[in-house]
């Protein structure tokens, strides 16, 4: 996301064949920037444009002196990586098998009172500026923020244990009346070398585990989730709900009931929208694709939900007509979809959802 570093134009003026290398140690996040080019623009008159600065915009993203001034100093810092240990309390562990070897990821929880963590997280946030569009830095002095960081624990050639930052998530604990909290996940980023390994799901589950047994927690929400995060979250929610009685095969086809909402909220801290989305997927999973009547029942169930916005439109239109608004005035105030077009729209939405559900079911236990 270079526009968040060098401006909306995504341009650096005044260099030929410019190449920027930013080296970052995996644990402490010390940095060294190397700039290469084959020529710079040289102004011949006072007041002419000068080449843009390259390193200062990067340095503005991190605390002072984070980007080291010489390569030799940076190399010396690499040797100190063996003594780095993650901040905070270890709360979870995730392992994967790759090439016959085990890779280990550990999750840690910190807050603003964790010694040394505030300065460290100012370096961590830089990655959000690189990889998350419209990212912004949070106020890490606010005591209501919780920070979940994941590190890969690996061995050096001499057998020493080392840690590499693999990702992070921030959670803000909002107040809930009268003495409750409503945690909201604000950011989550898994760094590119560690994606597609289940690290994001493991990190989200670690966040869930932190809150689901706390009686003060009402529900766990997410702020403006991306499409990728939304899919990951839905898969994980489905897996967790499969362990609940209300979502068992014997109950899933009886319709979405208060039992589903209550058990998912009490045991998993899921809100109503999450419960409905999970139920839809698991209802699809339980539908016999070879049974026409079963398929029809599922199709009608989903289409009834999809028709809800149109029912609201009809009510709004009826209210406006009651107040003697003309059809032209109603059209200006309401994006009204004619009834003859609704069936086609709903059917396409149903097919899109069905394809989405199929992809999610493939990731669930058989």
Residues 150-189 pLDDT 10s: 999 999 888 889 999 999 999 999 999 999 999 999 999 9
Catalytic residue list contains 223: yes
CA dihedral 57, 62, 65, 66 (to 10 degrees): -110
Q: How many Å separate Cα 89 from the centre of its chain?
A: 22
| Structural contact between residues 107 and 148, judged by C-beta atoms closer than 8 angstroms | yes
CATH no. for 85-224: 3.40.630.30
Q: Is pLDDT of 332 > 80?
A: no
pLDDT digits (tens, 9 = 90+) for 4-48: 999 999 999 999 999 999 999 999 999 999 999 999 988 777 777
| Adjacency order of strands within the sheet including 145-155 | 89-98, 101-110, 145-155, 161-176, 180-190, 221-222
Tell me how far apart the alpha carbons of residues 120 and 114 are, in angstroms, rounded to a whole number: 11
SS3 252: helix
Tell me how far apart the alpha carbons of residues 121 and 116 are, in angstroms, rounded to a whole number: 9
Write out the residue limits of the CATH 3.40.630.30 domain(s) in the chain.
Answer: 85-224
Q: Is pLDDT of 108 > 80?
A: yes
Degrees, nearest 5: CA angle 329-335-338: 100
Span of 95-99, 200-204, 324-328 with lowest mean pLDDT: 324-328
pTM of the complete model: 0.91
Tell me how far apart the alpha carbons of residues 302 and 284 are, in angstroms, rounded to a whole number: 10
Cis peptide bond N-terminal to 118, omega within 30 = no
Q: Is pLDDT of 319 > 90?
A: no
pLDDT of residue 154: 95
Note the maximum CA span of the chain: 83
| Structural contact between residues 150 and 164, judged by C-beta atoms closer than 8 angstroms | no
SS3 358: helix
Looking at 53, 223, 321, 329, which residue is catalytic? 223
pLDDT of residue 65: 86
CA distances from 26 to 23, 74, 80, 125, 164 (A): 9, 12, 11, 14, 4
Q: Which two tokens stand for residue 68?
A: 């080291």
> Residues of 223-258 as b/e, b for ≥16 C-beta within 10 angstroms?
eeeeeebeebbbbbbbebbbebebbeeebbeeebee
pLDDT digits (tens, 9 = 90+) for 245-273: 999 988 898 899 999 999 999 999 999 99
| 43-47: long-range contacts, CB 8 A cutoff, minimum separation 24 | none
pLDDT tier for residue 330 given thresholds of 50, 70 and 90: confident
SS3 15: strand
What letter does residue 189 receive in the DSSP assignment? E
| Structural contact between residues 148 and 171, judged by C-beta atoms closer than 8 angstroms | yes
CA distances from 194 to 89, 132, 190, 202, 203 (A): 22, 16, 6, 12, 12
Q: What percent of the chain has pLDDT over 70?
A: 100
């Amino acid at each position: 996301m270079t526009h968040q570093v060098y401006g909306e134009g995504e341009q650096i003026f005044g260099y030929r064949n410019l190449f920027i290398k930013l080296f970052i140690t995996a644990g402490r996040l010390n940095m060294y920037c190397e700039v290469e080019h084959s020529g710079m623009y040289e102004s011949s008159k006072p007041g002419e444009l000068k080449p843009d600065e390259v390193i200062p915009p990067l340095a503005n993203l991190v605390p002072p002196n984070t980007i080291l001034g010489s390569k030799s100093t940076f190399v010396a810092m690499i040797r100190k990586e063996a003594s780095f240990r993650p901040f905070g309390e270890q709360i979870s562990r995730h392992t994967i098998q790759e090439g016959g070897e085990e890779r280990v990821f550990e999750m840690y929880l910190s807050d603003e009172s964790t010694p040394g963590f505030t300065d460290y997280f100012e370096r961590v946030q830089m990655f959000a500026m690189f990889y998350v569009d419209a990212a912004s830095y949070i106020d890490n002095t606010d005591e209501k923020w919780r920070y979940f960081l994941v590190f890969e624990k690996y061995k050096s050639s001499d057998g020493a244990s080392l840690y590499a930052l693999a990702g992070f998530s921030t959670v803000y604990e909002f107040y809930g009346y009268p003495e409750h909290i409503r945690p909201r996940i604000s950011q989550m980023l898994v760094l590119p070398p560690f994606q597609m390994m289940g690290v994001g799901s493991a990190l989200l589950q670690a966040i869930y585990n932190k809150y689901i047994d706390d009686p003060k927690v009402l529900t766990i929400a997410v702020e403006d989730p991306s499409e990728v995060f939304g899919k990951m979250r839905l898969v994980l929610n489905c897996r967790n709900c499969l362990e609940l009685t209300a979502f068992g095969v014997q109950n899933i086809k009886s319709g979405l009931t208060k039992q589903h909402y209550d058990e998912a909220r009490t045991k998993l801290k899921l809100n109503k929208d999450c419960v409905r989305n999970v139920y839809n997927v698991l209802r699809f999973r339980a539908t016999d694709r070879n049974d026409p009547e079963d398929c029809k029942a599922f199709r009608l169930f989903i289409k009834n939900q999809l028709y809800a916005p149109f029912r609201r439109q009809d009510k709004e239109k009826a209210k406006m007509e009651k107040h003697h608004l003309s059809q032209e005035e109603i059209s200006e105030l309401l994006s009204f979809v004619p009834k003859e077009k609704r069936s086609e729209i709903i059917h396409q939405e149903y097919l899109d959802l069905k394809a989405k559900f199929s992809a999610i079911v493939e990731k669930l236990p058989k």
